Each structure stands twice: as structure tokens, then as C-alpha cells.
A and B are shown apart, each in its own frame.
Chain A
Amino acid sequence: MTSTAIRIYTAIMALACGGAIVFALQQQHQADTWQSDSRAWQDLVAKSTAQDQLNARRLKLVIHRYNLLVRNTTRSQRKLLAALQQRSSASTSAAGYTATRTVTYSTGGGSSSPAPAPVATSSAPPPTTKTS
């Protein structure tokens, strides 16, 4: 082998080694990136799991409170109906008649406005039945 051939061989080998080193460095960088991403995802999963457990605990608390509300409402309704029945029968027996009994209670439908005042008129039409 001549000295020229040896130089060419050395140069090629140097290039090949340099390329291999660059490739290895790039792969190392990519591996680092993937490792970083992997850690970030692991953190996210851990946080999500913790949040999910917290939500589950809060949901159980809300369900407990809702059930308590339903029980209390049912109890209150029973008491209200019993009181109304008692009041209704008391007012009926006290009045002695039922035809003109007044309103015993109104669940939200009570009149909030006063009744319009009737006015006396001498020019009313004769009593007439008609569609209204």
C-alpha cells in the first residue's frame, strides 16, 4: 500500500468515526428527550389519579348530603301535610258548614295581589249567558 492510499484510508475512517460519533450523540439527545417526556407523563398520571380520588371523595360527600336533604324534605312534607289536615278538620268543625269554607292553605298559589274592587253600575246589560 502506498502512502497515498494510506492517507485516503485514514481520511475515510476518520469521516466514518466522526459520523458514528455524531449519530450516537443525536440518539443520546433523543433518548434524553423521551425520558423527559416519559417522566412528565408519569407525573401527569400520578396527579390525575390523585385528583380522581379527591373527586370520588367529594362526590361521596355530595351524595351523602343529597340523601340527607331528601330525607329531611320528606320528613318536613309529612309534618306539613299532617298539620294541614289537622288545621283543615279543625276549621271545618269550627265553622259548622263546609259550603263556604275559606281557603285553608295554598302551596304557593296564594293571591299576591288584592282583589279588584267591584264598582256599582246602573248601566249593566241584562243578565246574559254567552261564551267568554
Chain B
Amino acid sequence: MSALEAPTTAVVWEWRATGTTWRIYHSGGVDSRIARLVAAQIERDEARWSRFRPLSDVSRINAGAGRWVPVGSDTMALLADCCRWTAETLGVFQPLVGAVLEAWGYRVGLQERPPGTTTSPIRNAAVGGELLIDKAARATMIPPGMRLDLGGIAKSWIATRAAAVLREATDDESLLIDGGGDLVAVRGSHLVAVEDPGIPGGPAHTHVLIRDGQGVATSGFGRRQWLNADHVEAHHLIDPATGRPGPRCHATVVADDPVTADVVATVLAVRPELIARRDEACLVTRGDQVWRTPAWGEVVRS
């Protein structure tokens, strides 16, 4: 391992946001003022894009389903990105799964709504509909009965914006933001452990190297799964084609853009067979089965 690849951080800033733990790894150039600046940026974004906040843009859009709802320019850009990814993944990335997700029992949050209290939907119901955006009027509309859920993209968007704030605020040569398992190499190269999906919190499955501006994200059923009252196992990754939780997969993706890593990881966790179409460094596991892209070999370090 070269000095460049070694984690150089002695002190880490840590706080809770977006329902997970955020950390800033650095080599001494991030003081409490800068850390608070980044935390404030993340809090502002969470206040707009969380479906668990009643006054967020997402909650307002859901409350106004079937009508045009005005939103800010940042939310408009995020929603435009959602539309782009929905088109690029042929609908596998679908931000309108919110209502189906709630029907399966993931209504508020695993803390607020204990799992096992819901009867699973009997019939398959593909999640269709289209997220409409009017850039000129800065307004958006979702079909009636649908609910927006930015769970597959919002955190990486927030992390990317936080990374931009951090990059502007300090000259530290080794900066890494960790948004609860989705990481952004703000500056420098960083060795990141890949958790073994079978042993959450256990020893690393392997390590990957991410460089300036790159992101790494993992998606899977592991931490957000529950048993419904009818003894049907459910998790939060819904396959839009069936309206049911996808296969029990985990996907880790390293990409030049943190949002790409996040979205592709979500897509591959729902449709692992799509790994054949990806150029990014991807690793998908389903039980004992493992799939990798050729680029995965270039980033893995152990």
C-alpha cells in the first residue's frame, strides 16, 4: 500500500443526519467551523428532500399529487436528474415507488413503524407513471396516487453538495465524506473497506481505492428488511416492474460521480443481471453468487 492510499486521518468529525451517521475524514485541515458548515448544508438539503419531513419539498409534492407544485432550483435539478436516470435505466430506477414502499410496510421509518404490522400486497402492481417537471415554471407534478421517494439518489446528491462545500472551505489534501456508507473522495485517494453483506458490522469483505471526486456506494436489503404480519419477508428496494421487493442482493459500485455510484448500486441491487451493461466498477452478491465488472479489478486492493 502506498502512502497515497493509506488512510491519513487521525481525527474524524462525526454527526447524525438523514437517519444515518455522517463522517468527515481529513488530515487536520477541517476545524469545527468547517465541519459545522458542512453539517448545516446537509441539514438544509435533508429538510427539502426527506420524505420523513412534513414540510420538505418531497412531502409537498406528495401532498399535491396530481397538481403542479412549485419547487426551488436545486430540487428541480435533482428531479431532472431522477428523470434522466429513470430513462437511462429503462425505468428500473423509479423515484415514484413511495406508495408501493408504504404498502409493503415501510411507511415512516423502521424506528417509527415497527415491522411486521402490515399485510403484504397480494397482486403484483408495476410502478408506472411519470414524474413531470416544468423547468420554465419551476414546478413538478406526480400522478395522483403516487408518492415520490428519493431514497435511491438523495443521499449521494447531498453528499456531492457537501463535498463541494468542503472542497471550497479547506485546502486539506486528504478529504473524505462518509454519508452512512456512501462515500465521496473529496480530495486525495482513499482506501475504503467494503462490508461483508453477510456480516453487517463485521470484518471487511475487501477494500477499494477511490480517487479525487469519485464515489463508492453500496445498496442492498441488509439493513432495511422486515417481516410482515403475513410472514412475508420484505425490504426497501422495490422492483418497479413487479411492485414487489427485489431479489435479496447487495451491490457495491465505484464511479467517477458519487450519484452514479449510488443510483447504479440501487439498480443492480434490484436487477443484478444488468451488471453486464455497466462500465463502472461493480460488485454484486446474491447469497453465494458473485458478479463483477472488469473495472472492479482495477479498484480492488485486497
- Residue numbers of A with Cβ under 8 A of B are 77, 80-81, 84-85, 88, 99-122, 124, 126-132
Closest to A81 in B: B138
With both chains docked as a complex, state the minimum distance between the C-beta of B112 and any C-beta of chain A, in angstroms.
17
How near does chain B come to A27, taking the closest CB pair, in angstroms? Answer: 66
Interface pair B11/A121, CB less than 8 Å apart: yes
Q: Is the interface of B mostly helix, strand, loop or mixed?
A: mixed
Pairs across A and B, CB under 8 Å, 7 listed: A111-B43, A116-B43, A118-B15, A124-B12, A129-B181, A129-B195, A129-B217
Contact flag A132-B42 (CB < 8 Å), given A107-B72, A121-B12: no
**Distance A85 CA – B153 CA, assembled complex (angstroms):** 25
**Contact partners of A130 in chain B: CB under 8 A:** 181, 194-195, 200, 218, 222-223
Structural contact, A111 and B32, CB atoms closer than 8 A:
no
Separation in Å of the A99 CB from the closest CB of chain B?
4
Closest approach, in angstroms, between the C-beta of B10 and any C-beta of chain A? 7
Interface residues in chain B, defined as those with a beta carbon under 8 Å from any beta carbon in chain A: 7, 10-17, 19-20, 22-25, 32, 35-36, 38-44, 46-48, 53, 55-57, 59-60, 70-75, 137-138, 155, 161, 164-165, 167-168, 176, 178-183, 190-195, 197, 200, 204, 208, 216-224, 250, 252
Shortest beta-carbon contacts, A-B, top 7 = A115-B43, A111-B47, A132-B180, A130-B195, A124-B12, A130-B181, A118-B35
Query: How far apart sit A2 and B20, CA to CA, in the bound complex (Å)?
Result: 125
Does the CB pair B56–A129 fall under 8 Å?
A: no
Contact, CB under 8 Å: A104 / B39: no
Question: Is B223 in contact with A121, judged by CB distance below 8 angstroms?
Answer: no
Q: Which residues of B contact A122 (CB under 8 A)?
A: 10-12
Say how far A12's CB is from chain B's closest CB, in angstroms.
86
Q: Chain A's nearest CB lies how many Å from the CB of B293?
A: 16
Smallest Cβ distance from B175 to chain A, in angstroms?
11
| Complex Cα gap A60–B59 (Å) | 35
Q: Which residues of the partner chain B approach A121 to less than 8 Å between Cβ atoms?
A: 11-14
* In the complex, residue of chain A having the shortest beta-carbon distance to the beta carbon of B58: A109
Q: With both chains docked as a complex, state the minimum distance between the C-beta of A88 and any C-beta of chain B, in angstroms.
A: 5
Asked, given contacts A116-B43, A117-B36, A129-B182, whether A77 binds B70 with beta carbons under 8 Å apart, the answer is yes
A127→B19 CA distance, assembly (Å): 18
Is B192 within 8 A of A104, CB to CB?
A: no
Q: A114 to chain B: which residues have CB within 8 Å?
A: 40, 43
In the complex, which residues of chain B have a beta carbon less than 8 angstroms from the beta carbon of A126? 7, 191, 193
Beyond A129-B195, A130-B181, 10 additional pairs, beta carbon < 8 A = A103-B74, A107-B70, A109-B75, A118-B22, A126-B193, A127-B176, A127-B190, A127-B191, A128-B204, A129-B194
Instruction: Please indicate the chain B residues that have their CB under 8 angstroms from the CB of A105 in the complex.
Output: 72
Q: Which A residues are in CB contact (< 8 Å) with B60?
A: 107-109
Q: Which residues of A contact B200 (CB under 8 A)?
A: 130-131
Instruction: Judge whether A115 and B36 touch: CB under 8 Å.
Output: yes
Least CB separation from B57: chain A residue: A109
Question: A128 to B181, Cβ gap below 8 A?
Answer: yes
Q: Are B36 and A131 in contact (CB under 8 A)?
A: no
Contact in complex: B44, A111 (CB < 8 Å):
yes
Contact across chains for B25 and A119 when beta carbons are under 8 A apart: no
Q: Within the assembled complex, what's the spacing in Å between the Cα atoms of A61 and B6? A: 75
A110 vs B74: C-alpha distance in the bound complex, in angstroms?
13
Complex formed: what's the CA distance from A102 to B217 in Å?
Answer: 25
Residue from A108, A121, A129 with most neighbouring chain B CB atoms (10 Å): A129
Contact A107 B71 (CB under 8 A): yes
Q: How far is the CB of B31 from chain A (nearest CB, A)?
A: 9
Chain B nearest CB, measured from A120 CB (Å): 5
Q: Once the chains bind, are A109 and B11 in contact (CB under 8 Å)?
A: no
Residues of B within 8 A of A132 (CB): 19-20, 155, 179-182, 223
Interface hub of B22, B32, B47, B252 (most chain A Cβ within 10 A): B47
For A128, list chain B residues within 8 Å (CB): 178, 181, 192-195, 204
A110 B47 Cβ-Cβ under 8 A: yes
| Cα–Cα distance between A103 and B222 once the two chains are bound (Å) | 34
B122 to chain A, nearest CB (A): 28
